[in-house]
Amino acid sequence: MPLKKNEIEKFKKTLLEMRKELVHVLNETNLEVKEGDHSKGYSQHSADEGTDDFVKSINLEVSNKGFNILRQIDRALEKIEEGTYGICDISEEEIPKKRLDAVPYTNMTVASQEQLEREKGAS
């Protein structure tokens, strides 16, 4: 059953809020990574530098995952504008509302997501 207009508006509002929060977190993480670069060489001990490098690696990993989610959010917002929100990009089947409630930025059904992950794992 296709999503109703008021449901789509609710998802759009949620997606815009998620996007705003994620951009804020990514900006903060980016600042932390840059600050870590500026303080490099000022550590009192080589173990401190190792810790700094470890924290920077974690921050970069968080940023990478965050940017991936941000792209998915942007794609979901694009699909709302196109009138295709809630339709799987791969199978063109409806994405169950429960899945959209759990992951509003998803653009695939569970079956399509699993298939894509299997294909990536095989290559």
- 11 pLDDT higher than 70: yes
Tell me the pLDDT tens digit for each residue of 14-73: 999 999 999 998 888 777 666 655 445 555 555 555 555 666 566 566 778 889 999 999
Give pLDDT, residue 98. Answer: 96
For the chain, which domains are there?
Answer: 5-122 (1.20.120.910)
Interaxial angle between packed helices 46-82 and 5-39, expressed in degrees from 0 to 180 and rounded to the nearest 10: 160
User: SS3 string of 41-106?
Assistant: CCCCCHHHHHHHHHHHHHHHHHHHHHHHHHHHHHHHHHHHHHCCCCECCCCCCECCHHHHHHCCCC
